[in-house]
Amino acid sequence: MKKIIILILLITLTGCSLFKEEKENVKEEKPSQEEVQEKEQAIEETTYKDDNQIVISLYTGQTSNYVKREVFDSKLEEYKDIGLFFVILDNKDNIKEGTIKSLYNRYSANYPDFSKYKIGYNVSFKLKNGEEFNENILKPLEFSAFSFSKYLYVWLYDDINNSGWYSHLEPDDYKENTVMSSIKLMATSNTEEIDGDIKLTVFTYDTMEDFDANNNYRGSSSFTTSIRRIG
């Protein structure tokens, strides 16, 4: 009888020990905050629906002579303009008709709900020391207020709501109908510290849902120009 009682106690204690160990294992297997965030982001991405069909590209040139720029070469000379890039709602290699304003009005008419969209930009590059910059531009700022302004100056223009001579957009100029239809980049005294290409991306968006949890644009209406140093 004693042997039976001892055996029952041993089984009971072992069972408790195993149960405790199992609970500890379950506790250890609890997902980390990073894993939870990744799962939430994956769910968000699967539920995101992009119905934006707007075609958009970046061009350089002048009236009736615009060239699409997937790659743009520049010497990146100190305090000299790198380039003035125009937004055109098309993807032809060359456009030999119209002004930026007339082309914008013509092509935007192809999209019944175009008025709900805005134009934005992204500038990204890496320094020789490994530091990286990746900033969205949704509104005009002072040219020195961007995170990368030590290495690159940026000015924005509204070619749609202006005529004759006009200056770059100031923060107070931004209204509901403002169209950031062109962007100018200038090199600074520190631009030589940039390693590799400068990526200039233009995109259209209608809500902040077009950006993921890391603030990266995830829509399909975008175009990127790689600005490459030469010389």
Q: What is each CA distance from 68 to 95, 125, 165, 183, in whole angstroms?
A: 8, 21, 24, 14
pLDDT (tens, 9 = 90+) of the chain, 231 residues, equals 444 444 444 444 444 443 344 444 444 556 666 655 555 555 555 689 899 999 999 999 999 999 999 999 999 999 999 999 999 999 999 999 999 999 999 999 999 999 999 999 999 999 999 999 999 999 999 988 999 999 999 999 999 999 889 999 999 999 999 999 999 999 999 999 999 999 999 999 999 999 999 999 999 999 999 999 997
Residue 36 DSSP label: H
Please check whether residue 161 is in contact with residue 178, taking contact to mean a CB–CB distance below 8 angstroms. yes
| Residue for token pair 């408790």 | 16
Mention every residue, 6+ apart, whose C-beta is less than 8 A from residue 49: none
Cβ atoms of 224 and 200 closer than 8 Å: yes
Q: Which one, of 123, 126, 147, lies nearest residue 225 by Cα?
A: 123
Are the C-beta atoms of 148 and 137 separated by less than 8 Å?
no
